[in-house]
Amino acid sequence: MNFSGPRFVPTHPNIVELDRIGDEIAELSAHLDAAIARLLDLIREFDARGGWNNGFLSCAHWLCYRVGLEMGAARACACGPLTRRAAAAGSGAGAR
């Protein structure tokens, strides 16, 4: 038998598995970006409404105590409208 048509070469199973893992990494990264954006929105609202003003000096101090953030990170989270852009830039996702 002589088949003169194009030959099909199956993709190696390791390549298929690595593609699936890569897709899952990209999907989870998108979920993390969305969760971080929501977290920052909630922190800004909490700060603006004075939710931390029950014995703490600032929202940053409250975040250190309640969430365990380092003071520098806590200040960055509570700093206002540039926070989301900075966090997005740091994750490589770009401004939202």
Q: Could you read off the pLDDT of 79-92 as tens digits, one per residue?
A: 765 545 555 555 45
Q: What is the dihedral of CA 28, 81, 53, 66, to 10 degrees?
A: 20
For residue 78, which of 56, 95, 55, 94 has the smallest C-alpha distance? Answer: 56
d(CA 64, CA 76) in angstroms, rounded, equals: 12
Write the pLDDT tens digit of every residue in 8-49. Answer: 777 788 888 999 999 999 999 999 999 999 999 999 999 999
pLDDT computed for residue 1 by the predictor: 55
